[in-house]
Structure 1
Amino acid sequence: MTNLAVLGTGHMGAAIARRLLVAGHRVTVWNRTPSRAAALAGSGAVIAETPAKAVLDADLIITMLTDATAVEAALFGPDAAVDATRSGAILVQMSTIGPDETRALAARLPTAISFLDAPVGGSVGAVDAGKLTIFAGGRDKVIEQAGPMLRDLGTVHDCGPVGTGTALKLVVNTAMITALGALHDSLAVADAFGIDRSLALDALTAGPLNGAIRRASNTDAKFAISLAAKDLRLALSDVRTAPIAAAAVQLLDDATDQRADLASLINLENR
Protein backbone atom coordinates (compact mmCIF):
# COMPACT_ATOMS: atom_id res chain seq x y z
CA MET A 1 0.00 0.00 0.00
CA THR A 2 1.53 3.29 -1.05
CA ASN A 3 -1.41 5.71 -1.32
CA LEU A 4 -2.40 6.79 2.17
CA ALA A 5 -4.76 9.41 3.58
CA VAL A 6 -4.53 10.88 7.08
CA LEU A 7 -7.64 12.61 8.38
CA GLY A 8 -6.66 14.82 11.32
CA THR A 9 -3.30 16.56 11.58
CA GLY A 10 -3.02 17.55 15.21
CA HIS A 11 0.18 16.64 17.04
CA MET A 12 -0.21 12.89 16.49
CA GLY A 13 -1.81 12.96 13.04
CA ALA A 14 0.88 15.29 11.68
CA ALA A 15 3.65 13.13 13.17
CA ILE A 16 2.11 9.99 11.67
CA ALA A 17 1.86 11.64 8.25
CA ARG A 18 5.52 12.71 8.39
CA ARG A 19 6.63 9.25 9.46
CA LEU A 20 4.74 7.61 6.59
CA LEU A 21 6.24 10.08 4.11
CA VAL A 22 9.72 9.22 5.37
CA ALA A 23 8.85 5.53 4.88
CA GLY A 24 8.19 6.21 1.20
CA HIS A 25 4.41 6.31 1.06
CA ARG A 26 2.37 8.88 -0.85
CA VAL A 27 0.32 10.71 1.74
CA THR A 28 -2.67 13.04 1.41
CA VAL A 29 -3.81 14.87 4.53
CA TRP A 30 -6.90 16.74 5.63
CA ASN A 31 -7.63 18.77 8.73
CA ARG A 32 -10.74 20.66 9.76
CA THR A 33 -8.50 23.69 10.40
CA PRO A 34 -6.52 23.90 7.12
CA SER A 35 -3.62 25.88 8.63
CA ARG A 36 -2.75 22.91 10.83
CA ALA A 37 -2.16 20.76 7.76
CA ALA A 38 -0.34 23.32 5.62
CA ALA A 39 3.12 22.69 7.09
CA LEU A 40 3.01 19.07 5.90
CA ALA A 41 3.20 20.22 2.28
CA GLY A 42 6.86 20.99 2.90
CA SER A 43 7.38 17.35 3.88
CA GLY A 44 5.81 16.12 0.65
CA ALA A 45 2.19 15.59 1.65
CA VAL A 46 -0.72 16.59 -0.58
CA ILE A 47 -3.17 18.86 1.25
CA ALA A 48 -6.85 18.14 0.59
CA GLU A 49 -9.68 20.60 1.11
CA THR A 50 -12.22 18.01 2.26
CA PRO A 51 -12.25 14.48 3.68
CA ALA A 52 -13.74 13.21 0.42
CA LYS A 53 -10.91 14.66 -1.67
CA ALA A 54 -8.31 13.30 0.74
CA VAL A 55 -9.35 9.68 0.28
CA LEU A 56 -10.01 9.54 -3.47
CA ASP A 57 -6.93 7.46 -4.35
CA ALA A 58 -6.18 6.02 -0.94
CA ASP A 59 -5.54 2.33 -0.36
CA LEU A 60 -5.53 2.97 3.37
CA ILE A 61 -7.14 5.78 5.37
CA ILE A 62 -6.14 6.77 8.90
CA THR A 63 -8.37 8.77 11.21
CA MET A 64 -6.57 10.50 14.08
CA LEU A 65 -9.14 12.92 15.49
CA THR A 66 -10.22 14.29 18.86
CA ASP A 67 -13.28 12.16 19.58
CA ALA A 68 -16.04 10.02 18.07
CA THR A 69 -18.03 13.09 16.99
CA ALA A 70 -15.09 14.36 14.94
CA VAL A 71 -14.50 10.92 13.41
CA GLU A 72 -18.16 10.57 12.47
CA ALA A 73 -18.20 14.04 10.89
CA ALA A 74 -15.13 13.28 8.76
CA LEU A 75 -16.44 9.90 7.63
CA PHE A 76 -20.16 10.56 7.25
CA GLY A 77 -20.72 14.33 7.38
CA PRO A 78 -20.55 16.94 4.59
CA ASP A 79 -18.00 15.94 1.92
CA ALA A 80 -17.94 12.52 3.61
CA ALA A 81 -14.82 10.42 3.27
CA VAL A 82 -16.88 7.23 3.08
CA ASP A 83 -18.71 8.41 -0.03
CA ALA A 84 -15.41 8.85 -1.90
CA THR A 85 -13.53 5.83 -0.56
CA ARG A 86 -12.73 3.27 -3.21
CA SER A 87 -13.78 -0.36 -2.96
CA GLY A 88 -11.17 -2.49 -1.23
CA ALA A 89 -9.66 0.31 0.85
CA ILE A 90 -8.93 -0.12 4.55
CA LEU A 91 -10.05 2.40 7.15
CA VAL A 92 -7.69 2.43 10.15
CA GLN A 93 -9.37 4.20 13.07
CA MET A 94 -6.55 5.41 15.36
CA SER A 95 -8.42 8.03 17.38
CA THR A 96 -9.05 7.19 21.04
CA ILE A 97 -12.81 6.73 21.29
CA GLY A 98 -15.06 4.24 23.10
CA PRO A 99 -15.32 0.54 22.17
CA ASP A 100 -19.06 0.87 21.50
CA GLU A 101 -18.43 3.97 19.38
CA THR A 102 -15.79 2.05 17.44
CA ARG A 103 -18.13 -0.85 16.73
CA ALA A 104 -20.92 1.54 15.72
CA LEU A 105 -18.66 3.28 13.19
CA ALA A 106 -17.54 -0.05 11.75
CA ALA A 107 -21.17 -1.18 11.37
CA ARG A 108 -22.00 1.90 9.27
CA LEU A 109 -19.31 1.28 6.66
CA PRO A 110 -20.12 -0.22 3.28
CA THR A 111 -19.04 -3.85 3.05
CA ALA A 112 -16.51 -2.91 0.36
CA ILE A 113 -14.46 -0.97 2.94
CA SER A 114 -12.47 -2.94 5.51
CA PHE A 115 -12.16 -1.58 9.05
CA LEU A 116 -9.36 -1.75 11.57
CA ASP A 117 -9.61 -0.54 15.15
CA ALA A 118 -6.04 0.62 15.88
CA PRO A 119 -5.47 3.23 18.59
CA VAL A 120 -1.87 3.78 19.60
CA GLY A 121 0.27 3.98 22.70
CA GLY A 122 3.04 6.57 22.67
CA SER A 123 3.37 10.20 21.74
CA VAL A 124 5.09 12.25 19.05
CA GLY A 125 8.58 11.07 19.95
CA ALA A 126 7.49 7.44 19.59
CA VAL A 127 5.98 8.19 16.18
CA ASP A 128 9.19 9.82 14.96
CA ALA A 129 11.20 6.80 16.11
CA GLY A 130 8.74 4.28 14.64
CA LYS A 131 8.11 2.89 18.13
CA LEU A 132 4.39 3.33 18.65
CA THR A 133 2.44 0.51 20.27
CA ILE A 134 -0.53 -0.24 18.02
CA PHE A 135 -3.54 -1.96 19.59
CA ALA A 136 -5.17 -3.63 16.58
CA GLY A 137 -8.71 -4.95 16.66
CA GLY A 138 -10.21 -6.51 13.55
CA ARG A 139 -10.11 -9.47 11.24
CA ASP A 140 -6.72 -11.17 10.93
CA LYS A 141 -6.77 -10.66 7.17
CA VAL A 142 -7.23 -6.91 7.53
CA ILE A 143 -4.46 -6.66 10.13
CA GLU A 144 -2.19 -8.57 7.77
CA GLN A 145 -3.07 -6.33 4.81
CA ALA A 146 -2.45 -3.16 6.82
CA GLY A 147 0.68 -4.64 8.39
CA PRO A 148 3.33 -2.98 6.18
CA MET A 149 2.02 0.50 6.98
CA LEU A 150 1.45 -0.27 10.66
CA ARG A 151 4.97 -1.62 11.08
CA ASP A 152 6.34 1.64 9.68
CA LEU A 153 4.81 3.26 12.75
CA GLY A 154 5.62 0.71 15.43
CA THR A 155 4.78 -2.68 16.90
CA VAL A 156 1.39 -4.24 16.22
CA HIS A 157 -0.50 -6.15 18.92
CA ASP A 158 -3.43 -8.24 17.66
CA CYS A 159 -6.04 -7.69 20.37
CA GLY A 160 -9.02 -9.53 18.87
CA PRO A 161 -12.20 -8.32 17.15
CA VAL A 162 -13.14 -4.72 16.42
CA GLY A 163 -13.48 -2.76 19.66
CA THR A 164 -10.85 -4.68 21.63
CA GLY A 165 -8.01 -2.45 20.42
CA THR A 166 -9.80 0.62 21.72
CA ALA A 167 -10.70 -1.14 24.96
CA LEU A 168 -7.08 -2.11 25.66
CA LYS A 169 -5.91 1.42 24.85
CA LEU A 170 -8.30 2.75 27.50
CA VAL A 171 -6.98 0.21 30.00
CA VAL A 172 -3.41 1.38 29.34
CA ASN A 173 -4.36 5.06 29.53
CA THR A 174 -6.19 4.49 32.80
CA ALA A 175 -3.04 2.97 34.30
CA MET A 176 -0.82 5.78 33.03
CA ILE A 177 -3.08 8.65 34.10
CA THR A 178 -3.84 7.27 37.55
CA ALA A 179 -0.11 6.59 38.08
CA LEU A 180 0.61 10.24 37.34
CA GLY A 181 -2.11 11.13 39.83
CA ALA A 182 -0.37 8.95 42.41
CA LEU A 183 2.94 10.66 41.65
CA HIS A 184 1.28 14.05 42.03
CA ASP A 185 -0.03 13.12 45.48
CA SER A 186 3.20 11.43 46.58
CA LEU A 187 5.13 14.62 45.85
CA ALA A 188 2.48 16.65 47.69
CA VAL A 189 3.11 14.49 50.76
CA ALA A 190 6.87 14.96 50.34
CA ASP A 191 6.41 18.73 50.15
CA ALA A 192 4.20 18.71 53.25
CA PHE A 193 6.89 16.85 55.23
CA GLY A 194 9.64 19.11 53.96
CA ILE A 195 11.35 16.35 51.97
CA ASP A 196 13.62 17.71 49.23
CA ARG A 197 11.94 17.13 45.85
CA SER A 198 15.09 15.58 44.35
CA LEU A 199 15.41 13.14 47.25
CA ALA A 200 11.75 12.13 46.96
CA LEU A 201 12.01 11.56 43.22
CA ASP A 202 15.14 9.45 43.59
CA ALA A 203 13.35 7.24 46.11
CA LEU A 204 10.19 6.98 44.01
CA THR A 205 12.19 6.12 40.89
CA ALA A 206 13.30 2.92 42.58
CA GLY A 207 9.69 1.94 43.28
CA PRO A 208 6.44 1.30 41.42
CA LEU A 209 6.11 4.89 40.18
CA ASN A 210 9.21 4.69 38.00
CA GLY A 211 7.12 4.67 34.83
CA ALA A 212 5.12 7.68 35.97
CA ILE A 213 8.33 9.61 36.63
CA ARG A 214 9.62 8.75 33.15
CA ARG A 215 6.37 10.02 31.65
CA ALA A 216 6.48 13.19 33.74
CA SER A 217 10.04 13.79 32.47
CA ASN A 218 9.12 13.31 28.81
CA THR A 219 9.46 16.64 27.03
CA ASP A 220 8.46 15.20 23.61
CA ALA A 221 4.96 14.13 24.61
CA LYS A 222 1.96 16.23 23.62
CA PHE A 223 -1.03 14.65 25.34
CA ALA A 224 -3.33 17.47 26.38
CA ILE A 225 -4.91 17.29 29.83
CA SER A 226 -8.36 17.75 28.29
CA LEU A 227 -7.80 14.70 26.05
CA ALA A 228 -6.55 12.64 28.97
CA ALA A 229 -9.74 13.51 30.87
CA LYS A 230 -11.80 12.54 27.83
CA ASP A 231 -10.05 9.16 27.63
CA LEU A 232 -10.49 8.48 31.32
CA ARG A 233 -14.21 9.27 31.12
CA LEU A 234 -14.50 6.82 28.22
CA ALA A 235 -12.76 4.19 30.34
CA LEU A 236 -15.15 4.83 33.23
CA SER A 237 -18.32 4.80 31.13
CA ASP A 238 -19.03 1.09 31.76
CA VAL A 239 -17.28 0.68 35.12
CA ARG A 240 -19.47 0.41 38.21
CA THR A 241 -16.82 1.55 40.66
CA ALA A 242 -13.33 2.97 40.09
CA PRO A 243 -12.66 5.57 42.79
CA ILE A 244 -8.98 6.09 41.94
CA ALA A 245 -9.73 6.82 38.29
CA ALA A 246 -12.64 9.06 39.28
CA ALA A 247 -10.31 11.05 41.53
CA ALA A 248 -7.82 11.33 38.66
CA VAL A 249 -10.55 12.81 36.46
CA GLN A 250 -11.15 15.47 39.10
CA LEU A 251 -7.42 16.22 39.23
CA LEU A 252 -7.41 16.69 35.45
CA ASP A 253 -10.53 18.84 35.50
CA ASP A 254 -8.96 21.13 38.12
CA ALA A 255 -5.91 21.86 35.96
CA THR A 256 -5.72 25.50 34.87
CA ASP A 257 -4.28 24.91 31.40
CA GLN A 258 -6.33 22.17 29.77
CA ARG A 259 -4.19 22.27 26.62
CA ALA A 260 -0.93 21.59 28.45
CA ASP A 261 0.69 18.17 28.30
CA LEU A 262 -0.34 15.72 30.98
CA ALA A 263 3.12 15.92 32.55
CA SER A 264 2.44 19.52 33.56
CA LEU A 265 0.49 18.09 36.52
CA ILE A 266 3.86 17.11 38.00
CA ASN A 267 6.38 19.87 38.71
CA LEU A 268 9.83 18.39 38.19
CA GLU A 269 11.57 21.74 37.69
CA ASN A 270 12.71 21.91 41.29
CA ARG A 271 14.52 18.59 41.11
Structure 2
Amino acid sequence: MFNQIEQVGFVGLGAMGSGIARRLMEAGHPVTGWNRTRSKAEDLLAAGMGWADTPREVAERCDVVFTMLTNTAAIEGAARGEDGLLAGLREGTVWADLSTISPEASVALSEEVAATGASYLDTPVSGSPATLAAGQMSVMVGGDRAAFDHVEQLLHAIGPKVTYIGPHGHAILTKVAINLALVVSVTAFAEAVTLVEKAGVSRAAVVDAALKSVIASPVIGYRAPLLVDDDTVYADVELQQKDLVLAQELGRRYGAMVPTCSAASEMLSAARSSDLSDRDFLVSVADVYRRAAGVEVR
Protein backbone atom coordinates (compact mmCIF):
# COMPACT_ATOMS: atom_id res chain seq x y z
CA MET A 1 0.00 0.00 0.00
CA PHE A 2 1.38 3.40 -0.99
CA ASN A 3 1.11 6.51 1.14
CA GLN A 4 -1.37 9.15 0.04
CA ILE A 5 0.66 11.87 -1.68
CA GLU A 6 0.39 14.88 0.60
CA GLN A 7 3.99 16.07 0.70
CA VAL A 8 6.61 15.87 -2.05
CA GLY A 9 10.31 15.95 -1.27
CA PHE A 10 13.14 17.13 -3.48
CA VAL A 11 16.85 16.52 -2.94
CA GLY A 12 19.26 18.32 -5.27
CA LEU A 13 18.28 21.87 -6.23
CA GLY A 14 20.79 22.75 -8.93
CA ALA A 15 19.79 24.30 -12.24
CA MET A 16 17.67 21.37 -13.36
CA GLY A 17 16.46 20.25 -9.93
CA SER A 18 15.27 23.70 -8.93
CA GLY A 19 13.38 24.05 -12.21
CA ILE A 20 11.63 20.71 -11.70
CA ALA A 21 10.81 21.50 -8.08
CA ARG A 22 9.26 24.78 -9.20
CA ARG A 23 7.08 23.00 -11.77
CA LEU A 24 5.84 20.63 -9.07
CA MET A 25 4.98 23.59 -6.87
CA GLU A 26 3.25 25.41 -9.70
CA ALA A 27 1.15 22.28 -10.25
CA GLY A 28 -0.11 22.65 -6.69
CA HIS A 29 2.07 20.11 -4.86
CA PRO A 30 3.59 21.10 -1.49
CA VAL A 31 7.35 20.55 -1.78
CA THR A 32 9.99 20.17 0.93
CA GLY A 33 13.55 20.48 -0.35
CA TRP A 34 17.16 19.95 0.61
CA ASN A 35 20.34 21.00 -1.13
CA ARG A 36 23.93 20.87 0.01
CA THR A 37 24.15 24.63 -0.60
CA ARG A 38 21.03 26.24 0.84
CA SER A 39 21.61 29.57 -0.92
CA LYS A 40 20.76 27.93 -4.25
CA ALA A 41 17.26 27.27 -2.93
CA GLU A 42 16.46 30.80 -1.76
CA ASP A 43 14.15 31.60 -4.69
CA LEU A 44 12.18 28.41 -4.09
CA LEU A 45 11.97 29.08 -0.36
CA ALA A 46 10.65 32.55 -1.11
CA ALA A 47 8.03 30.93 -3.36
CA GLY A 48 6.81 28.73 -0.50
CA MET A 49 8.96 25.60 -0.59
CA GLY A 50 9.60 23.97 2.78
CA TRP A 51 13.13 23.20 3.95
CA ALA A 52 14.65 20.09 5.53
CA ASP A 53 18.07 20.07 7.18
CA THR A 54 19.06 16.63 5.87
CA PRO A 55 18.04 14.15 3.16
CA ARG A 56 16.82 11.89 5.96
CA GLU A 57 14.41 14.57 7.11
CA VAL A 58 13.07 14.91 3.55
CA ALA A 59 12.36 11.16 3.47
CA GLU A 60 10.76 11.20 6.93
CA ARG A 61 8.42 14.06 6.06
CA CYS A 62 7.43 13.21 2.50
CA ASP A 63 5.36 10.60 0.70
CA VAL A 64 7.25 10.87 -2.59
CA VAL A 65 10.90 11.90 -2.78
CA PHE A 66 12.61 13.08 -5.96
CA THR A 67 16.38 13.28 -6.32
CA MET A 68 18.32 15.13 -9.00
CA LEU A 69 22.07 14.96 -8.41
CA THR A 70 25.12 15.01 -10.67
CA ASN A 71 26.37 11.43 -10.55
CA THR A 72 26.39 8.05 -8.82
CA ALA A 73 28.65 9.20 -5.99
CA ALA A 74 26.37 12.14 -5.20
CA ILE A 75 23.27 9.92 -5.11
CA GLU A 76 24.94 7.37 -2.85
CA GLY A 77 26.20 10.18 -0.63
CA ALA A 78 22.66 11.47 -0.19
CA ALA A 79 21.33 7.95 0.37
CA ARG A 80 23.67 6.63 3.05
CA GLY A 81 24.66 7.48 6.60
CA GLU A 82 22.58 8.48 9.58
CA ASP A 83 21.38 11.60 7.74
CA GLY A 84 20.77 9.83 4.44
CA LEU A 85 17.56 9.06 2.59
CA LEU A 86 17.67 5.34 3.37
CA ALA A 87 17.58 6.09 7.10
CA GLY A 88 14.39 8.15 6.69
CA LEU A 89 12.36 6.09 4.23
CA ARG A 90 9.23 4.40 5.52
CA GLU A 91 6.80 1.85 4.20
CA GLY A 92 4.67 3.19 1.35
CA THR A 93 7.07 5.98 0.33
CA VAL A 94 8.22 6.21 -3.29
CA TRP A 95 11.73 7.46 -4.11
CA ALA A 96 12.00 8.55 -7.76
CA ASP A 97 15.56 9.30 -8.89
CA LEU A 98 15.67 11.73 -11.82
CA SER A 99 19.47 11.59 -12.10
CA THR A 100 21.56 9.77 -14.70
CA ILE A 101 23.70 7.33 -12.71
CA SER A 102 25.24 3.90 -13.15
CA PRO A 103 22.51 1.39 -14.07
CA GLU A 104 24.15 -1.18 -11.80
CA ALA A 105 24.17 1.24 -8.85
CA SER A 106 20.55 2.17 -9.54
CA VAL A 107 19.42 -1.47 -9.40
CA ALA A 108 21.40 -2.01 -6.17
CA LEU A 109 19.72 1.02 -4.61
CA SER A 110 16.29 -0.30 -5.58
CA GLU A 111 17.01 -3.45 -3.56
CA GLU A 112 18.12 -1.46 -0.51
CA VAL A 113 15.05 0.74 -0.73
CA ALA A 114 12.76 -2.30 -0.98
CA ALA A 115 14.21 -3.56 2.31
CA THR A 116 12.82 -0.43 4.03
CA GLY A 117 9.30 -1.07 2.74
CA ALA A 118 9.53 1.86 0.34
CA SER A 119 9.69 1.71 -3.47
CA TYR A 120 12.40 3.02 -5.79
CA LEU A 121 12.00 4.14 -9.41
CA ASP A 122 14.72 5.16 -11.83
CA THR A 123 13.14 8.14 -13.57
CA PRO A 124 15.82 9.91 -15.63
CA VAL A 125 14.76 12.92 -17.66
CA SER A 126 15.74 13.93 -21.17
CA GLY A 127 16.12 17.60 -21.91
CA SER A 128 17.67 20.77 -20.55
CA PRO A 129 16.52 23.72 -18.46
CA ALA A 130 15.34 25.23 -21.75
CA THR A 131 13.32 22.12 -22.56
CA LEU A 132 11.88 22.11 -19.06
CA ALA A 133 10.89 25.78 -19.25
CA ALA A 134 9.17 25.13 -22.58
CA GLY A 135 7.14 22.30 -21.05
CA GLN A 136 8.76 19.68 -23.29
CA MET A 137 10.72 17.57 -20.82
CA SER A 138 10.45 13.80 -21.18
CA VAL A 139 10.66 11.27 -18.35
CA MET A 140 11.55 7.58 -18.57
CA VAL A 141 10.61 5.18 -15.78
CA GLY A 142 11.99 1.88 -14.62
CA GLY A 143 10.77 -0.16 -11.65
CA ASP A 144 7.59 -1.51 -10.13
CA ARG A 145 4.61 -0.70 -12.36
CA ALA A 146 2.30 -0.09 -9.38
CA ALA A 147 4.75 2.47 -7.97
CA PHE A 148 4.86 4.17 -11.36
CA ASP A 149 1.07 4.29 -11.54
CA HIS A 150 1.03 5.88 -8.08
CA VAL A 151 3.32 8.77 -9.05
CA GLU A 152 2.49 9.14 -12.75
CA GLN A 153 0.51 12.34 -12.21
CA LEU A 154 3.50 13.93 -10.49
CA LEU A 155 5.75 12.93 -13.38
CA HIS A 156 3.39 14.59 -15.84
CA ALA A 157 3.78 17.79 -13.83
CA ILE A 158 7.49 17.62 -14.72
CA GLY A 159 6.95 17.03 -18.43
CA PRO A 160 4.20 15.87 -20.78
CA LYS A 161 6.11 12.91 -22.22
CA VAL A 162 6.29 10.11 -19.66
CA THR A 163 7.24 6.59 -20.77
CA TYR A 164 7.26 3.45 -18.63
CA ILE A 165 10.23 1.43 -19.91
CA GLY A 166 10.30 -1.71 -17.76
CA PRO A 167 12.04 -3.20 -14.70
CA HIS A 168 14.54 -1.45 -12.42
CA GLY A 169 17.49 -0.06 -14.37
CA HIS A 170 15.87 -0.14 -17.79
CA ALA A 171 15.05 3.57 -17.79
CA ILE A 172 18.64 4.43 -16.88
CA LEU A 173 19.90 2.17 -19.67
CA THR A 174 17.59 3.93 -22.10
CA LYS A 175 18.76 7.36 -20.92
CA VAL A 176 22.41 6.36 -21.42
CA ALA A 177 21.59 5.30 -24.99
CA ILE A 178 19.81 8.60 -25.67
CA ASN A 179 22.67 10.66 -24.28
CA LEU A 180 25.19 8.66 -26.29
CA ALA A 181 23.30 9.65 -29.46
CA LEU A 182 22.95 13.25 -28.21
CA VAL A 183 26.66 13.80 -27.53
CA VAL A 184 27.75 12.13 -30.76
CA SER A 185 25.36 14.29 -32.81
CA VAL A 186 26.37 17.53 -31.09
CA THR A 187 30.07 16.70 -31.43
CA ALA A 188 29.58 15.92 -35.13
CA PHE A 189 27.82 19.27 -35.52
CA ALA A 190 30.82 21.11 -34.06
CA GLU A 191 33.07 19.19 -36.48
CA ALA A 192 30.90 20.04 -39.48
CA VAL A 193 30.67 23.75 -38.66
CA THR A 194 34.44 24.01 -38.18
CA LEU A 195 35.09 22.27 -41.51
CA VAL A 196 33.26 24.87 -43.58
CA GLU A 197 34.28 27.73 -41.32
CA LYS A 198 37.87 26.81 -42.21
CA ALA A 199 36.85 27.14 -45.88
CA GLY A 200 35.65 30.68 -45.24
CA VAL A 201 31.93 30.24 -44.61
CA SER A 202 30.46 32.47 -41.91
CA ARG A 203 29.84 30.55 -38.68
CA ALA A 204 26.61 32.45 -38.11
CA ALA A 205 25.40 31.58 -41.62
CA VAL A 206 26.15 27.88 -41.13
CA VAL A 207 24.25 27.83 -37.84
CA ASP A 208 21.32 29.67 -39.39
CA ALA A 209 21.18 27.22 -42.32
CA ALA A 210 21.46 24.21 -40.00
CA LEU A 211 18.54 25.43 -37.91
CA LYS A 212 16.42 25.49 -41.08
CA SER A 213 17.59 22.06 -42.26
CA VAL A 214 16.66 18.44 -41.64
CA ILE A 215 19.28 18.15 -38.88
CA ALA A 216 17.50 20.72 -36.70
CA SER A 217 16.66 18.31 -33.89
CA PRO A 218 15.53 19.72 -30.55
CA VAL A 219 19.06 19.50 -29.11
CA ILE A 220 20.63 21.19 -32.15
CA GLY A 221 17.81 23.72 -32.00
CA TYR A 222 18.69 25.03 -28.56
CA ARG A 223 22.45 24.38 -28.63
CA ALA A 224 23.58 25.48 -32.11
CA PRO A 225 23.01 29.20 -31.37
CA LEU A 226 25.69 28.92 -28.66
CA LEU A 227 28.32 28.84 -31.42
CA VAL A 228 27.26 32.38 -32.30
CA ASP A 229 26.19 33.74 -28.93
CA ASP A 230 27.78 31.79 -26.06
CA ASP A 231 25.42 32.83 -23.28
CA THR A 232 24.19 29.59 -21.66
CA VAL A 233 25.63 26.39 -20.21
CA TYR A 234 23.25 23.45 -20.55
CA ALA A 235 25.89 20.87 -19.58
CA ASP A 236 29.64 21.28 -19.37
CA VAL A 237 32.24 18.79 -20.59
CA GLU A 238 32.59 16.95 -17.29
CA LEU A 239 28.88 16.44 -16.80
CA GLN A 240 28.25 15.32 -20.37
CA GLN A 241 31.26 13.00 -20.57
CA LYS A 242 29.97 11.13 -17.53
CA ASP A 243 27.21 9.71 -19.72
CA LEU A 244 29.66 8.58 -22.40
CA VAL A 245 31.75 6.80 -19.78
CA LEU A 246 28.61 4.97 -18.62
CA ALA A 247 27.95 3.94 -22.23
CA GLN A 248 31.52 2.71 -22.69
CA GLU A 249 31.27 0.67 -19.49
CA LEU A 250 28.06 -0.91 -20.78
CA GLY A 251 29.74 -1.69 -24.08
CA ARG A 252 32.56 -3.53 -22.30
CA ARG A 253 30.15 -5.37 -20.01
CA TYR A 254 27.86 -6.59 -22.75
CA GLY A 255 30.34 -6.93 -25.61
CA ALA A 256 28.68 -4.26 -27.75
CA MET A 257 30.63 -1.93 -30.02
CA VAL A 258 30.39 1.81 -29.29
CA PRO A 259 32.97 3.34 -31.68
CA THR A 260 31.25 6.69 -32.21
CA CYS A 261 30.80 6.97 -28.45
CA SER A 262 34.53 6.40 -27.95
CA ALA A 263 35.46 8.97 -30.59
CA ALA A 264 33.15 11.58 -29.06
CA SER A 265 34.54 10.84 -25.61
CA GLU A 266 38.07 11.48 -26.89
CA MET A 267 36.96 14.88 -28.16
CA LEU A 268 35.44 15.68 -24.78
CA SER A 269 38.69 14.62 -23.11
CA ALA A 270 40.54 17.09 -25.34
CA ALA A 271 37.95 19.74 -24.54
CA ARG A 272 38.82 19.49 -20.86
CA SER A 273 42.01 21.42 -21.67
CA SER A 274 40.15 24.14 -23.57
CA ASP A 275 40.09 27.64 -22.16
CA LEU A 276 36.32 27.31 -22.61
CA SER A 277 35.95 24.08 -20.64
CA ASP A 278 33.55 25.78 -18.25
CA ARG A 279 31.14 26.58 -21.08
CA ASP A 280 28.56 24.29 -22.67
CA PHE A 281 30.24 21.18 -24.04
CA LEU A 282 29.36 22.14 -27.63
CA VAL A 283 31.30 25.40 -27.23
CA SER A 284 34.26 23.58 -25.61
CA VAL A 285 34.43 20.91 -28.31
CA ALA A 286 34.09 23.47 -31.11
CA ASP A 287 37.02 25.36 -29.56
CA VAL A 288 39.19 22.23 -29.82
CA TYR A 289 38.20 21.66 -33.47
CA ARG A 290 38.90 25.30 -34.36
CA ARG A 291 42.32 25.36 -32.75
CA ALA A 292 43.30 22.09 -34.43
CA ALA A 293 42.18 23.47 -37.80
CA GLY A 294 43.86 26.82 -37.31
CA VAL A 295 40.57 28.67 -37.44
CA GLU A 296 40.69 32.05 -35.75
CA VAL A 297 39.10 31.71 -32.31
CA ARG A 298 36.77 34.58 -31.49
TM-score w.r.t. structure 1 length? 0.91
Q: Which moved more, 1:219-228 or 1:70-79?
A: 219-228
Map of 1:239 onto structure 2: 251
What runs of 5+ residues in structure 1 fail to find an aligned partner? none
**Are 1:87 and 2:99 an aligned pair?**
no
> 1:153: Cα distance to partner?
0.8
Amino acid in structure 2 at the alignment position of 1:254: A
**1:205 to 1:14, Cα distance in 2 relative to 1, 3 A:** closer
> Residues 101 and 172 of structure 2 are in contact (CA less than 8 Å); yes or no, is this contact kept in structure 1?
yes
> 1:23: Cα distance to partner?
0.8
| 2:149 paired residue among 144, 147, 170 | 144
Deviation digits for residues 121-158 of structure 1 (CA, Å, limit 9, x no counterpart): 01113323432100111121111101110011112101
Deviation digits for residues 17-57 of structure 1 (CA, Å, limit 9, x no counterpart): 11111111111111122222233211111122111112222
Taking the aligned partners of 1:130 and 1:194, their CA distance within structure 2 comes to: 38
Residue aligned with 1:254, SS: helix
- Structure scoring higher RCO (CA < 8 A, sep ≥ 6) equals 1
Taking the aligned partners of 2:220 and 2:73, their CA distance within structure 1 comes to: 33
**1:45 to 1:111, Cα distance in 2 relative to 1, 3 A:** same
What runs of 5+ residues in structure 2 fail to find an aligned partner? 288-296
> Residues 233 and 280 of structure 2 are in contact (CA less than 8 Å); yes or no, is this contact kept in structure 1?
yes
Map of 1:260 onto structure 2: 279
Amino acid in structure 2 at the alignment position of 1:148: Q
| 1:100 paired residue among 95, 100, 104 | 104
**Are 1:227 and 2:232 an aligned pair?**
no
**Are 1:164 and 2:170 an aligned pair?**
yes
> Residues 156 and 162 of structure 2 are in contact (CA less than 8 Å); yes or no, is this contact kept in structure 1?
yes
Would you say how many aligned residue pairs link Structure 1 and Structure 2?
268
| 1:115 paired residue among 100, 112, 120 | 120
Taking the aligned partners of 1:259 and 1:6, their CA distance within structure 2 comes to: 27
Taking the aligned partners of 2:261 and 2:193, their CA distance within structure 1 comes to: 18
| 1:75 paired residue among 63, 74, 79 | 79
Map of 1:125 onto structure 2: 130
Map of 1:176 onto structure 2: 182
> Residues 116 and 143 of structure 1 are in contact (CA less than 8 Å); yes or no, is this contact kept in structure 2?
yes
> Residues 90 and 116 of structure 2 are in contact (CA less than 8 Å); yes or no, is this contact kept in structure 1?
no
**Are 1:215 and 2:222 an aligned pair?**
yes
Residue aligned with 2:36, SS: coil
> Residues 140 and 171 of structure 2 are in contact (CA less than 8 Å); yes or no, is this contact kept in structure 1?
yes
> 1:82: Cα distance to partner?
1.6
**1:189 to 1:36, Cα distance in 2 relative to 1, 3 A:** same
Taking the aligned partners of 1:208 and 1:100, their CA distance within structure 2 comes to: 36
Taking the aligned partners of 2:105 and 2:112, their CA distance within structure 1 comes to: 11
> Residues 110 and 120 of structure 2 are in contact (CA less than 8 Å); yes or no, is this contact kept in structure 1?
yes
Q: Which moved more, 1:155-164 or 1:79-88?
A: 79-88
Deviation digits for residues 42-96 of structure 1 (CA, Å, limit 9, x no counterpart): 1111122111112222110011011111111111124111211221000001110
Taking the aligned partners of 2:177 and 2:142, their CA distance within structure 1 comes to: 14
Amino acid in structure 2 at the alignment position of 1:125: A
| 2:58 paired residue among 54, 58, 77 | 54
> 1:111: Cα distance to partner?
4.7
Q: Which moved more, 1:2-11 or 1:195-204?
A: 195-204
Taking the aligned partners of 1:228 and 1:33, their CA distance within structure 2 comes to: 22
> 1:243: Cα distance to partner?
2.5
> 1:2: Cα distance to partner?
3.2
> 1:167: Cα distance to partner?
0.7
CA RMSD in angstroms comes to 2.1
Percent of aligned pairs sharing the same letter: 31
